[in-house]
Amino acid sequence: MVIAQAVRVLAAAALPSPRVDAELLAAYVLRVARGRLLSVDSVTGSAADRIRALAAARAGGAPLQHLTGRAAFRYLELSVGPGVFVPRPETELLVDWGLAALRDVAAPVVVDCCAGSGAIALAVAHELPRARVYAVEREPAALDWLRRNAAARAAAGDRPVTVVAGDVADPGLAAALPAPVDLLLANPPYVPAAVAVPADVRRDPAAAVFGGADGLDVIRPLVALAAAVLRPGGGLAVEHDDTHAAAVAALLRPAFADVAGHEDLAGRPRYTTGWRGDGGAAADVGGWGRPAEAGDTERGKVEG
C-alpha cells in the first residue's frame, strides 16, 4: 500500500520513472534488494512514514541518489550526496571505450580528470586490475566523496586508486602525474553557463556542471594536459555537451590523431576521442609541454 502511495506521489510530480523510484526508496528503507520487495508482507509504522517522507522529498526535486546516499555505476555502488556530481549512465560508454583501448596494454597507467565521486577511475580499477589508476579532483567537497569511495573499493579488494588533489588548469599538475600515461578519461564540467538544466542537475554542484560561457573553459586546459602527459599513441576520451562535437574535435586535432565523436544512449553527440600523435605538439594546444616554473600555482597533491 505505501509503495503504491509513493508511486502516485511521484507520478503526480511528473517524474519519468515513478514506480522505479518508489521501489528503490522502499528497498533502501527496508534494507532489501528491490527484487525482493514482493516478499515483504506489509510495511507499517516508522518504515512506512520514512518511505512517504522520502517520496515527498523526491517529488520535490531531491535526487534519488542523494536520498539513498548511493549511485550505481557499471558494476559498482558509490557513495554520493550534496557536494558531488551524481554519475550518469551515459558516462559508462566512455569507460567502455577506455577499457577497449587498453585491451593490449600490459600494465596501463590511467588518469581520470575531474573525477568527482571517482566513478570512472574506480570502475576502471575494478574491471581492469592490472591498471594503475589516478583520480584528479579540485573541489574539496567532491574530494571527500572521492576519498571515501576509493577507500571503500580498496577495502573490497580492488587495486587502490591514487587520489590527486589538483586542477586541470594548474600548470603544475602534470608534474604530479606519472609519466607517461596510457589513457586519460574525463567527464568535466561542460554545460554553457546560460543553459537551463533539469531540476536534478541543478542539485549537482555548479562547479561540476557548468564550464564557463561556452562550456569549454575546463575542456581547453584538459586537452592541453592530455597532450603533455600521454605517451605517443596514448588515448584520450572526454565527455562534452551535445553541441560541442565540432569544437572539441577541433581542440584535439593539433596533438591527436584519429579524432572521433561518439553518441550517447539517446543518439546525441556525447564524447570525443583521439590518440596522442608523435612529436611535441603539446605547445600547440596550450603550452603544457614546459616544466613548471617559479610563480606557477601549487602542484597537485598526491594522496596514497
Q: Rounded mean pLDDT of 268-284?
A: 78
Quote the percentage of the chain above a pLDDT of 90. Answer: 81
Confidence of residue 204 (pLDDT cuts 50, 70, 90): very high
At residue 78, does pLDDT exceed 80?
yes
At residue 293, does pLDDT exceed 70?
no
Per-residue model confidence (pLDDT) at position 294 = 30
Q: Taking a C-beta distance cutoff of 8 angstroms, is the pair 109, 180 a contact?
A: yes
Q: Rounded mean pLDDT of 123-133?
A: 98
- The answer for residues whose C-beta is within 8 angstroms of residue 135's C-beta and 6 or more apart is 111, 112, 115, 118, 120, 121, 122, 146, 150, 161, 162, 163, 164
Residue 271, marked binder: no
Unique residue bearing C-alpha cell 534494507:
31
Residue 187, marked binder: yes
Q: Taking a C-beta distance cutoff of 8 angstroms, is the pair 150, 161 a contact?
A: yes
At residue 288, does pLDDT exceed 80?
no
What CATH number was assigned to the domain covering residues 71-303?
3.40.50.150
Per-residue model confidence (pLDDT) at position 41 = 74
- Residues that are catalytic: 85, 187-188
Per-residue model confidence (pLDDT) at position 253 = 98
Q: Rounded mean pLDDT of 285-300?
A: 36
Residue 284 pairs with which residues in a beta bridge?
none
| Pairing relationship of beta strands 109-113 and 269-276 according to DSSP bridges | unpaired
Q: Which residue, 168, 90, 157, 105, is CA-closest to 134?
A: 168
Residue 190, marked binder: yes
Dig out the grid coordinates for 106 from the structure: 600490459
Residue 178, marked binder: no
Q: Which sign, positive or negative, has the C-alpha torsion 13, 18, 23, 25?
A: negative
Per-residue CA distances from 242 to 98, 126, 217, 226 (Å):
20, 29, 16, 21
Q: Taking a C-beta distance cutoff of 8 angstroms, is the pair 288, 282 a contact?
A: yes
d(CA 203, CA 47): 26
> For the chain, where do the domains classified as CATH 3.40.50.150 start and end?
71-303
Q: Report which DSSP code applies to 16.
A: S
Residue 165 pairs with which residues in a beta bridge?
137, 301
Residue 160, marked binder: no
Neighbours of 14 (CB within 10 A): 8
| Pairing relationship of beta strands 181-186 and 132-137 according to DSSP bridges | unpaired
d(CA 225, CA 22): 43
- 248 vs 203: which has the higher pLDDT: 248
Per-residue model confidence (pLDDT) at position 304 = 60
